[in-house]
Structure 1
Amino acid sequence: MSLLVPGALALLSLAIPLLVLYMLRSRRQRFEVPSVMLWSGEEEFVSAAVPWQRLKITAALLLQLLALAAFAFLLSRPFFEEETLLGPHTVMIIDTSGSMGMENRLDTAKARAIELSAEASDAQLISVVSGGPSPRVLAAFSRDPEGLRTAIESLSVTGGSDELGEALRLARGLATPDRPTTILFLGDGGIPGSVTEPVTNALHVPFDDTGDNVAITGFGAGAGAGETRMFLEVTSYSNKPESVTAELEVDGLSVGSVDVDLDPGQRSQKAIAVEAGPGQVVTVALRDHVDSLPLDDSSAAVLSGSAEVSVAVLGEGSRFLDALLGSISGVRDAAGLPPDVVIIDRDDASIVDRPAWIIAPETPPPGVEVIGVLEFPVITYQRSGEPILEGIDLADLAIAEAQIVNAPGWLSLLRAGEIPLILLGEVDGQRAIYLTFDLTRSNLPVQVSFPILGSRLIDWLGGSRVTTASTAPAGTPIPLVTPQGSTARVTLPDGSRRDLVEGLLTFNAATLPGVYRVEYVAEDGTIVPGPVAARQFVASESTGETRTIAVVDEGTQAAETSQLLREWAPFIAALLLAIVLLEWWVAYGRPMPARRGEGEAAT
């Protein structure tokens, strides 16, 4: 313990005058006599009062001395040092990915962030960045605890994977040259490879509470025997056997249910026939089941058209593409007719009027800008939980060169550092896949996984023939094609509506799993239905796995904890008040409230 104003202890010297007052107090001896008649005419005192007396230690004196000591100690401002995670400027990145919903991890992280913001001094600045699938800055360079609390409390768990790399870029952008900036990660660690590690000038505060969980890890549609079948996958992440009931609905009406029994760690797949057609929404939910992660207990899909897809190749083409299309069941050559899916291979992609697989185009599609070329890119990131890449490992992919593109609103499936190599998105309401590299200048066509990947890409593109609705992982933006003079309105899975500002090309807040419905509202109030989109919980988030983000490397320094000064003043002030009240009670003869019986007797 140290003192900020040690000179205030000089007030303890006031104890000397206090003691002197007690010794100088006039106290004449008291005698009882039968009469004072014999003292008539003797009013003049013949002896003075005793000026000094022996100091008598009383409870009142002790309490007054104690109050004086407490007062002097209070003015000296004693304090103690406590380690804090805050620096001169701290950027808190709070993970809101799906796994943060397990055992209320996000609520615990938010409480910790609010606690840190409340203990910041006037000399410390705090910024807050959301680290979910759509990172954004919630507060910048703030000293206002209430404003920070409001920003932090606005965060909620999403159904997507974290984009800590993008969140870290936002945090680095908030750094200022006039004061050191510390990055503070609050979360369960995210997906390996989402940030380049180790992270300098950073600290990771982990939140790793776990619990039993049963999740819907797969839900999609297919055709067979003249009927629509929904393929359901349920996985147990529990340590005990689980029995659940999955109930299906088509456009909000129940169409049946299926019972699923699972051993610990087991995965069960079911094919369920339903009466539903293109354009309808099918949902599934685990009924009467409670676990540690409720968001992955439901899923939704928007049905597309028939299984047969006609494909046309524009541009140079290659024998690899010809062999791929010939090997995929249900795919036929468009033969000069308007195709369902077009493959644009090293050609002009400035106009996209149908689902398109775009391969290293000469002219990129609208919304994408080519800003350079990267030679021999090395794979550093493959999106976890993406159905298109499930069971496919592209770590050994070799590429001669790739375009460096700026593609806001597109989802990166594969990256080399920060350079995207495979992207999913939509152009003018049409699904699109963008490969930034030439297939013929890579080893992808000779890999075993190429036919599987190509088939899934065609299936994904073909799913948009009947409706512009899309089924994609939570966090994938929803494209908007707003008519002139209208504004877009989006109905979220929880039933709330959000009116969007005019001119937006995408709705980037589709972070919750469920169904999103878009409407276009004209100036006269006319409502035109827009696309219906389903966003699904990312299956890899259901595991609840945690890890520690590396923040230390040889030759670099991690952010260090700093010291926070906490004063004892509130506690000492409370003690001083208690002492003063006790001294008053003692000095006035320990006054007590009258007993009820005594009051009645006096009456």
Structure 2
Amino acid sequence: MSFLWPFALAGLLTLPIILILHLLRSRRDRLAIPSLLFWRGLQQEKEGGSPRKIPLSLMLFLQLLVAIVLTCGLARPTLSFLLGLPEQTIFVLDTTTSMAATDVSGGDQTRFDIARQTIQDYIESMAASDQVAVVSLDPRPEILLTGNGEQKAAALSELDNWVPGATGANLTAALSLAGGLVDPDRENRIVILTDGNLDSDSAPLPAVTAPVEWQFIPEAAPPGNQALFDVSARPLPNGRQRIFARVINYDDAPVARTLRLLVDGQVSQEEAVDIDAQADAVQLWTVPASAESVAVEIAETDALPLDNRAELLLLDTTRRRILLVSNTPETLSRALEVQPGVDLAVAAPDALAGFDLADFDLVVLDSVPAELTAWPSGNVWVINPPVNQPLLPVETYALNLRPDPDTASALLDGVDLSGVYFGRVAQMAVPEWASIDLMAATTEVETPSPLIFHGTVGSTRVVVWTFDLADSNLPARLALPLLTANTLTTMLAPAPPPAVPVGEPVTLPRNFSVEIPDGRRLFPSADQNIAESNFTHTQEPGLYRIYDSSDTLVAGFAVHAGSAPESNLLQRPDRAALEQKLNVIPVPPPDPDVNYQEFWPWLVSVGLVVIMIEGWLAWRR
């Protein structure tokens, strides 16, 4: 206990004053007697008078109590309490594929479930002033969650959305990100929840400013595992597909396994294989040309089921068949032939009737033939549309126009049009179904003239270049092959790799949707343009089907879980070695706050009550 105004304790000097006053005011009781005659001779000489005694009374006690209570109240006594510092726990959560192993106690939970339960238990026990943060431990660490004790409900609901699915772990980047979240005004700690399937020979770990706690899941030695690798398909000349698969035994003992081939969801073949310890086995199959998808799986179960199955989508998306219809195809054919994966066919306009346009992924029309009165299904690229063509009504031609870079859309990304001019441009109203990608500079013409636009008419995707390439300096510029590549990206289905590791992003155009293995369809945001973007929702193994804007399956890819860093569950660095690599430089916590609780109002109130009691007693006398 302490006093905020200790000088007020001088009021205790009133105590002896009160005692002296009572001593001086003390008196004998007076009695009426008839005579003092009989008292004569009783008077004796006193020698050295006896000390006077303080007369004890209730009034004296009350007055002393009032003085003490009021003096202490004026001194403002307080009780001080040290407040504990708010805490912040930063979890570094391993989200790699190996965390899906089911070798924890009970067998019905994964390593990731145990780690997630640890975070959930902490969130539920948080005080209102505490904070929590979660950083993912994978190749590209990111902050998964931040919040305080007042946001428990939102944090707990967010936990249910996390699934393990990544190949490799960047512990250095994860610790750097966690270190940046350390709050110097709190007691911080970093908890690493991992199965220990880390590369201990990676780059040096960064210095962290908070204590680091390792929690390995499970604590016991991990089991062996078998995984599928390099599952791929190769087309044969007769149209059939050759399926290749390799299975690796990450165990210190030989195993016997059954490899099962499924074609379009139905079991086709099964093969028994014997695999030595830390060795592999290879299997080949041939499937019919009509097969749309295949899956290879290990029939027996083990600690990591995710890498026991690998699927393939048998769609030929690596080649783009393009038909160029032009009387002077040299310039365009050169720009198209340098594009990867293009199978180009060239035809004169009068020979167009001899081709089945459905056999091509893209039809390029250098001037639309007069006999073409309806848009063919698929993708059509029109260059230099003519007058008197009903599909694109051209009004007249403008001469010597230059592009306006401020009107360029994402189709012009990376294309430098400085110094480019167009000698002849078809002037026309932009159709209602089209979006403008590039306009001519308004200073060149009285009315704005579109140079490039695109859109969808029924089942046809159309891109229109309104200028004549032969009457422009664009063919002499690097801009032509770049603009051609961007146009093909807009028009054609993407050609992703047949298979990617779990968690690996895939570059896709934004005008396509993706159906993930659980059946959900992911669409691009409405405010996104047609530029390419990274599709990052690849945490789940299986088939990913890509659909165009008309809901047609145009491509796909598979996500495989088998990988050396994740499937080999036996590799686990020594905890002491990991802790030795850590450079922990803890920041001293700030001084704790002190809570002062005053109770002088209670003392003053007691003093006033005592004064009232004393006054009442004095009045009664």
TM-score interval (norm. to shorter): 0.3 to 0.5
Structure 1 or 2, whichever has the larger Rg, is 2
